[in-house]
């Protein structure tokens, strides 16, 4: 190759090299643009992923809120229109009748084998009648009767002389006498020879009602009979004072609301003398008690406030005590009420005030109420629509059936304790614990608020819930205190609020007497009437006047 050609070839190579450099620069620029675009796309994908996750989270939260709102709606409808029973999930089978589904009939002809059906119906109905007839043999039906009876004799002289008397029978006719009698006693004031001035009433010999003069309760114009009726209506029938005024007005007696309240207060002052003795009966050494509390309204010059009334019940002593400590609900109320009482056990719900029994009072065994757990799982099943709650309801229902069986068999406390710790009961409780742990730690399916609350409640109070197995005298739930405090909630509904501390304390005193009388199977009205009569006669031996010491005063 000549030098000239070589020079041209080298020049060509330089040109190609420049072009390659330019292509390389363009390629690097393209790569840089692609990398920048890739970063932008990656950032966009990350942003979209975060937005999607946020949307999914919000969706789950909204779905949970909707489920909770639906559950709340079902709870509200259940309370307003459904059964309030919390005893299980098995409902009674609906009995079909001839009018059932008549609105759904579409006119289609239906062929019914009337002969076989009627035979089966007749056979079953006759069998039921025979069973009822056999089962009622030797039994007496409860008939209407009244405590005050008047016998009206038949004038046998008006029967025709030639008639033959076949039998004599009694036909009952019930009548009501609603009246309030005003007894006006003529008192005389005279001066004796020694200068004393005396005012007295001297009854006539033929005056059968003169004893009413000495039955007037001190500080009032009413007898113990009238006052006991007023107390019965107010605190057992939950009749507010304004309704009592209307009732008395129908019987032509005019009385002011304040007068009625004063009468209630004077009765409460005397009945309050019984409370120390009744408290000793309820909190005797080794006692097993049930405690509950409920809210009530209190009207002050600052407006309406929510206060609390407490209830303590001793089943063995058949004594119930209500106490109201300025409407407070903290643990000091219970601590000050128990003081140094050496009770054996206290059963309550899961309110945290009672937890100090486990922390500070180790001598008192604290039990929790199984009915509260059952109610929470029932809400989760029926209102929360969570089928997982059915397992717990079935197991708890089995435990309740065992308790029912013990009562039917009349087992002693020792035998009940042995049965509660038998192998089959231990297995059921172990299964409950395993299922509870599974839902607490391993179940990944989302739970509604109601189900989660039920699980957390049972887990928190597990030990206290099953302490009832430690003693055959213990009960599985706190239903005794719940039943005793129920009349207080009815009074709250009808009377709306207390106007003073004195009114709240008077309510506590009357409910103490009434619920204790119920436990003893006594008539609260009769007891209060006879108690006021004895007090009017001057008795002050309060420890001998409690409902547990005497049934009806003579």
* Overall residue count recorded for the chain in this entry: 554
User: For 546, which DSSP code?
Assistant: S
What confidence score (pLDDT) does residue 147 get? 74
Reference 454, options 502, 390, 508, 411; nearest CA is 390
Q: How high is the mean pLDDT in each 10-residue block of the chain (554 residues)?
A: 75 80 84 85 86 86 79 70 63 50 45 46 50 47 73 87 85 81 89 89 86 86 90 89 87 88 92 92 91 83 78 92 82 81 87 66 82 92 89 94 92 93 94 93 86 92 92 91 88 78 87 93 91 88 86 46
Question: Any idea what the Cα angle at residue 93 is, between residues 90 and 99, rounded to 5°?
Answer: 150
**DSSP structure class, residue 210:** G
pLDDT of residue 552: 44
The reported pLDDT for the residue numbered 422 is 93
Q: Per the structure block, which two tokens stand in for 347?
A: 């059963």
Do the beta carbons of residue 438 and residue 458 sit within 8 Å?
Answer: no
pLDDT of residue 435: 93
Helix axes 479-495, 501-520, angle to 10 degrees: 140
Cβ contacts of 357 within 8 Å, gap of 6 or more? 346, 364, 366
Burial annotation 276-294 (CB, 10 A radius, 16+ → b, else e):
ebbbebbbbeebbbbbbbe
Distance CA 383, CA 97 (A): 29
- Which tokens hold the place of 318? 């058949």
Beta-ladder partners of 280 = none
Q: How far apart are CA 405 and CA 418, in angstroms?
A: 14
CB-based contact 261:231 (threshold 8 Å): no
The DSSP bridge pattern shows strands 288-300 and 345-348 to be parallel
pTM (2 d.p.): 0.72
- pLDDT (0 to 100) of residue 315: 92
């Amino acid at each position: 190759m000549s030098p000239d050609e070589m020079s041209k070839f080298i020049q060509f190579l330089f040109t190609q090299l420049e072009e390659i450099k330019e292509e390389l620069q363009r390629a690097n620029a393209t790569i840089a643009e692609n990398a920048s675009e890739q970063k932008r796309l990656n950032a966009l994908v990350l942003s979209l992923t975060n937005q999607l996750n946020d949307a999914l989270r919000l969706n789950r939260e909204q779905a949970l809120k909707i489920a909770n709102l639906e559950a709340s709606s079902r709870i509200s409808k259940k309370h307003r229109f459904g059964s309030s029973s919390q005893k299980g999930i098995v409902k009674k089978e609906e009995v079909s009748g001839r009018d059932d589904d008549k609105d759904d009939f579409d006119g289609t002809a239906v062929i019914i084998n009337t002969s076989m059906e009627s035979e089966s119906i007749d056979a079953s109905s006759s069998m039921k009648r025979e069973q009822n007839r056999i089962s009622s043999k030797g039994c007496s039906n409860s008939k209407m009767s009244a405590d005050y009876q008047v016998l009206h004799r038949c004038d046998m002289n008006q029967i025709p002389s030639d008639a033959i008397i076949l039998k004599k029978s009694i036909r009952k006719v019930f009548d009501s006498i609603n009246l309030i009698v005003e007894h006006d006693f003529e008192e005389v004031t005279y001066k004796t020879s020694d200068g004393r001035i005396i005012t007295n009433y001297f009854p006539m010999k033929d005056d059968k009602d003169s004893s009413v003069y000495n039955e007037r309760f001190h500080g009032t114009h009413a007898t113990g009979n009238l006052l006991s009726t007023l107390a019965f209506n107010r605190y057992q029938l939950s009749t507010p004072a304004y309704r009592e005024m209307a009732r008395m007005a129908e019987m032509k007696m005019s009385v002011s609301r304040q007068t009625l309240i004063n009468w209630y207060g004077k009765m409460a002052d005397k009945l309050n003398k019984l409370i120390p003795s009744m408290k000793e009966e309820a909190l005797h050494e080794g006692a097993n008690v049930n405690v509950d509390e409920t809210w009530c309204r209190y009207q002050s010059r600052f407006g309406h406030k929510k206060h609390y009334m407490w209830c303590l019940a001793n089943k063995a002593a058949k004594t119930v005590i209500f106490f109201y400590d300025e409407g407070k609900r903290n643990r000091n109320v219970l601590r000050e009420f128990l003081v140094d009482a050496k009770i054996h056990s206290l059963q309550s719900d899961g309110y945290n005030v009672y937890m100090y029994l486990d922390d500070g009072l180790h001598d008192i065994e604290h039990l929790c109420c199984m009915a509260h757990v059952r109610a929470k799982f029932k809400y989760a099943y029926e209102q929360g629509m969570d089928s997982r709650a059915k397992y717990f309801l079935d197991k708890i229902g089995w435990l309740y059936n065992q308790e029912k069986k013990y009562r039917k068999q009349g087992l002693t406390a020792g035998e009940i304790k042995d049965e509660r710790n038998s192998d089959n009961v231990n297995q059921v409780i172990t299964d409950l614990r395993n299922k509870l742990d599974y839902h607490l730690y391993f179940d990944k399916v989302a739970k509604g608020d109601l189900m989660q609350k039920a699980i957390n409640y049972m887990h928190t109070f597990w030990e206290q819930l099953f302490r009832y197995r430690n003693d055959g005298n213990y009960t599985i739930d706190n239903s005794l205190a719940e039943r005793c405090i129920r009349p207080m909630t009815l009074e709250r509904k009808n009377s709306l609020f207390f106007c003073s501390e004195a009114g709240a304390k008077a309510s506590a005193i009357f409910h103490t007497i009434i619920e204790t009388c119920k436990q003893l199977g006594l008539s609260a009205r009769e007891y209060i009437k006879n108690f006021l009569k004895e007090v009017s006669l001057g008795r002050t031996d309060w420890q001998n006047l409690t409902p547990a010491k005497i049934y009806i005063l003579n």
